[in-house]
Amino acid sequence: MCGIAGIYNFGGRKEEHSGSSIRRMTDAMSHRGPDASGFYEDPEIALGHRRLSIIDLSPAGNQPYTSGNGRYKMVFNGELYNFQSVRALITDHRFKSTGDTEVLMEGWVLWGIGVVEKLKGMFSFAVWDTQEKELVICRDRLGVKPLYYYQDEHQFVFASELRSVVAGAGIRPKLSTNALMSFLTYQSVAGNQSIFEGIKELEAGHFMKVRNGQVEIKKYWDITSNPGLYQGEGLPEVKHKIRGLLRTAVEQRLVSDVPVGAFLSGGIDSSAVVGLMAEVSASRPETFNVCFEEEEFDESRYAEIVAKKFNTNHHRILLKPEAMLENLIPALNAMDTPSADGINSYVVSKAIREAGITVALSGIGGDELFAGYPFFGQYKSVRKFKNIWPAMYPFRKLAAALLAGESTKKQRLRQLCQIGNCSVEELYPLFRQILPPSRISRLMGHPFVGDVIEQKLSALPALGKFPDYSQISIADYLGYTQYTLLKDTDQMSMAVSLEVREPFFDHELISYVLQVPDELKTPVYPKKLLVESLGDLLPHEVVHRKKQGFVFPWAQWMRKELKDFCTERINSISERSFMDAGALQQEWAKFLKGDPSVRWAEIWIFIILEQWLQNNECE
């Protein structure tokens, strides 16, 4: 796992200028790769790399990497879980290393961009063709690894982190109003935009060619275009297939030359990963659980049941409010791009890294694939009315008028009554909103712009051909999962130089399960299909417990231990030009009084944003 950076100057550059710029870029993300750094420079391009050594710990794995024929230069961030099988296909090259970087490089020499079709893994990489003077950058299918870029008439700048692009481009970034609204809606910036105007993110499953200032972007993988994987099998065959795919995904993600641990919350998903890890691994798994003194948030007893069953070397991390205060500022400072949902990941990642672990497996992604959230059932219920939805308009209009009040729940119900049809592109945004559009407009004093997620879903003509549960899964992969869950996991784990691997984000597993009919996936109890596919692997107490999720007691902390910290940032952001100070202060006062119409997440999102703006010196 690493950080990559590059500057392509369209008119050539002075060598000393390129050297200082590319070093500023890699310095800005040194946490992503503390083990080594490297550079390649010529008059047109500068490439930089920071290395976190995972596979082939020798200097042979250092980057930038040069192809055996000397033509191509490459920087690569990620892990290729099937690199050994891909290596076996490359018979006309004598390998000098034992890692995946050389495999990717020589695969590029042999197949060009076609190499990505053979890869299983998480990656972002850039290849410079020294003959054609062409740069290609590419990102993995599901967006596990980030890649940002900036272009003007003189240069093209790319990097694994937003702050690195800013350091290399030599610009004073300006906040994007549209991105701010996206952040307040979904707690992260969605789509290919970043929080800064002019800096974009290469979308998942895409690659980009840059040559002489001309840019061409192409999609090489689409989550809705993988037909034929499910062949109408019955339930026993489906369960067998799912267990096999997930087992393989876990086994492949254990490939490492350093110790591998695992997050263990005590829920179904992390327990499944740990159980399969114990099954396929020759060594005793190292597991980590964050626990709390507040019983309503503590899940440690379930994690201990799982750890005992699979004989793991288990680590309990007791998190007290004072420890949270100690970790809060470092966690907020670690945010490359603002997010209201990443501090949890930072705390547990930091604890695992301090225990000497460099790689950890995570169970994130199970809820999205196996209908683990309540809104899967809610979507199914609303879809029963799809044929009569237009005819119900007069009744829906009346219901919306009767729903008085400004609570988020009532505003969402009004939105539901007012949508044109009950399609996934209109319903999914309602399920994932932190703040509804009307409330954002009131707090910012600015008309709400179009919803990016709704636009992305509307551009997928094949989406409606999938089963209802899978439609929601796909929407989540193109929404919350990509722009919040995966982004937070990457930036918070890499902030402490920890590599996180996610077996539930195996693209072959996902492609198969998305085609399984709803009747086999209906969650009579949580994630029934997943649980039954694993047989007796999971303890009964874990399967049939109340779902909690990995959540800190923020509401309590914000009214007590964190009250002063929060008040200072609410006051500060209220003075910013894009905010309506009176409206936000009113919301904060309601929250402190315990008004149920204002949830903690609806306030915390502004506190996070203000802290990020201060850290990045944004006016």
Q: Is residue 48 helix, strand or coil? A: strand
Q: Is residue 215 helix, strand or coil? A: strand
E strand or H helix at 208: strand 206-211
Catalytic residue among 2, 291, 417, 566: 2
In degrees and rounded to multiples of 5, residue 90 shows phi and psi of -100, 95
CA separation, residue 19 to residues 159, 210, 236 (Å): 15, 21, 59
Strand order in the sheet with 36-41: 36-41, 45-51, 2-9, 155-159, 148-151, 199-201
β-strands 206-211, 214-219: how paired?
antiparallel
In degrees and rounded to multiples of 5, residue 218 shows phi and psi of -135, 150
HSE of 379 in the Cβ direction (CA atoms, 13 Å)?
27
Amino acid identity, position 561: E
In degrees and rounded to multiples of 5, residue 108 shows phi and psi of -65, -40
Instruction: Provide the b/e sequence for 435-465 (b: ≥16 CB within 10 Å).
Output: bbbebbbbbbeeebeebbbbebbeebeebee
Amino acid identity, position 67: S
339 near 482, Cβ under 8 Å?
no
**566 counts as catalytic:** no
Q: Which residue carries 């992390």 as its tokens?
A: 270
β-strands 134-139, 260-263: how paired?
unpaired
E strand or H helix at 400: helix 393-402
Q: Token pair of 165, please? A: 């692009």
| C-alpha to C-alpha distance for 144 and 506, rounded to whole angstroms | 11
E strand or H helix at 72: strand 72-80
Q: Token pair of 56, please? A: 């082939």
Active site residues: 2
